[in-house]
Amino acid sequence: PDSMEVAADNTLHIAEHAITELAERYGTPLYIFDRATITRACQRYRQAFQEQYHASPVHILYASKAYISPLIAQLVAEQGLGLDVVSGGELLVAKRVGFPMEAISFHGNNKSEAELRLALQLGVGRIVLDNWHELERLTRIAQESGQRPGVLLRVAPEVETDTHRYLQTGHASSKFGFPLGNGEAQAAIECIVREGILHLRGLHAHTGTMLREVRPYQEALERLLALAVQMYTSLHWWPEEISPGGGWAVDTPEGEAAPSVELLAQACQQAMERSLASIEASLPAPTLIVEPGRSIIARAGVAVYRVGARKVTPGGITYLFVDGGMADNIRPALYGAHYTALSVAAVSREAEESVCVSGRYCESGDMLIENVALPRMQEGELLLLPTSGAYCLPMASNYNLVPRPAVILVDKQQVQVMERRETYEDILARY
Ligand code: LLP
């Protein structure tokens, strides 16, 4: 996080709070989010698009799935961003803080009837239709309720991305979206426009996540606009909004910087310019919607664990066992994601050994980091994993019936408990 530094006592502080003290007070594992980093990331997105993108108005929606809580929803709203939600749960968090419903997109490939009804009842700005079943379901519900909800059509633009197989979403065989190549996207638009029950506001695509190149964004935008032109010619329908989704990368733990948000904004400008150049001048350029999740929140969060034990195997592997692991961060096990670690109290001490940071869960795959160089750490010392703000807690589980960690939000003035630590009572209350 921007506010993390090595203090005079040679230990790590965030927003001037000693992490050792925070860990004493709130326990471990502890996730700490730095308010200033989130605020700055939101501002950076707004500024980059303001400066680099002129083709049409822009909406920046924070992708809640990366990490949401009422405090984060509030913070994001204060920064003038909208929200991308994918479930009734995320939508209810937005509702709890009075998030402007017009600034919300509701995604998902299998939203339930109850979730769709909730979205209608709350007046969500756009429901993103992912497939034929959803189109039928929502059409029926809208007819019953007499409302005309705003919708976007999610298109599988057949754009390949250079990322983990599980993180690709824009290919023709993706589970998400109406395929473009076989005419389904065109047929769906025709169906919605002709029926007139839903208000088709625009087109959406999301090609993948942890993307380090602009090509997929440009290809997605160009394909969506080509589709729009096709639909204007045949139906006189033209989108108000268009979106290439989210997915921008963050810096790697190995220190490779992520390409800048300015680059992304420029690329969107170029793609829109190129596409619009061939379009009838009287047609307004659709509002651009971008949906960053990870690139807003990942760097703001750190995970703090306490070392419980170490073990050296006959083969010479040194394990450092921490009090969390795959239940609060499944990403290394699921995607082979890389993290790095710092010793909170001895951050500037030279590395003395290579260790495998392993969690407390009953599974050999429970390794947070396979190999990291650290000063020799003893039982009771604190280990910090930077860049743990995205997709760790939202994918957390109660594996082995271990309560979920506490989460705090800090700035120089205050420490707020964002999520209290789960208790055994919470867990037992479900049975
Ligand atoms: N918009 C849509 C429609 C999405 O599906 C996603 C992510 C985003 C925006 C935000 O992508 P971001 O900017 O955060 O990369 N659990 C995985 C990530 C799955 C992302 C799914 N969709 C992980 O831990 O890496």
Report how far residue 376's alpha carbon sits from residue 288's, in angstroms, rounded to the nearest whole number.
50
What pLDDT is stored for residue 222 in this prediction? 96
Q: To 10 degrees, the CA torsion angle through 19, 20, 25, 28?
A: 90
Residue in 191, 268, 356, 362 annotated catalytic: 362
> What number does the ligand 1 atom closest to the CA of 395 have?
16
Report how far residue 137's alpha carbon sits from residue 36's, in angstroms, rounded to the nearest whole number.
42
Whether the CB of 391 sits within 6 Å of ligand 1: yes
What pLDDT is stored for residue 109 in this prediction? 96
CA of 297 from ligand 1 middle (Å) equals 12
CA of 362 from ligand 1 middle (Å) equals 28
Whether the CB of 292 sits within 6 Å of ligand 1: yes
> Which residue segments constitute the domains of the chain, with CATH numbers given?
4-34+298-428 (2.40.37.10), 53-292 (3.20.20.10)
Whether the CB of 206 sits within 6 Å of ligand 1: yes
Whether the CB of 331 sits within 6 Å of ligand 1: yes
Q: Is 310 annotated as a binding residue?
A: no
Q: Is 335 annotated as a binding residue?
A: yes
Q: Is 422 annotated as a binding residue?
A: no
Cα–Cα nearest to 303, from 324, 277, 280, 286: 324
Ligand 1: which of 209, 261, 339 to mutate, judged by most atoms within 8 Å of the beta carbon?
209
71 phi and psi angles, rounded to 5 deg? -65, -40
Low-confidence ranges of the chain (pLDDT < 70): none
Decide: helix, strand or coil at residue 92.
Answer: helix
Whether the CB of 130 sits within 6 Å of ligand 1: no
Which is it for strands 301-312 and 318-322: parallel, antiparallel or unpaired? antiparallel
What pLDDT is stored for residue 170 in this prediction? 73
Asked if 320 and 355 touch (Cβ cutoff 8 Å), the reply is yes
Closest-CA residue, ligand 1 atom 20, reads 209
What pLDDT is stored for residue 169 in this prediction? 80
CA of 244 from ligand 1 middle (Å) equals 12
Decide: helix, strand or coil at residue 272.
Answer: helix
Per residue in 38-71, pLDDT (tens digit) is: 999 999 999 999 999 999 999 999 999 999 999 9
Alpha carbon distances (Å) from 1 to 39, 374, 390: 11, 20, 13
Decide: helix, strand or coil at residue 380.
Answer: coil
With 0.90 as the threshold, say if the pTM is over it: yes
- Told to judge if 362 belongs to the known catalytic residues of this protein, a careful annotator would answer yes
CA of 75 from ligand 1 middle (Å) equals 20
Let me know how long the chain is. Answer: 431
CA of 316 from ligand 1 middle (Å) equals 38
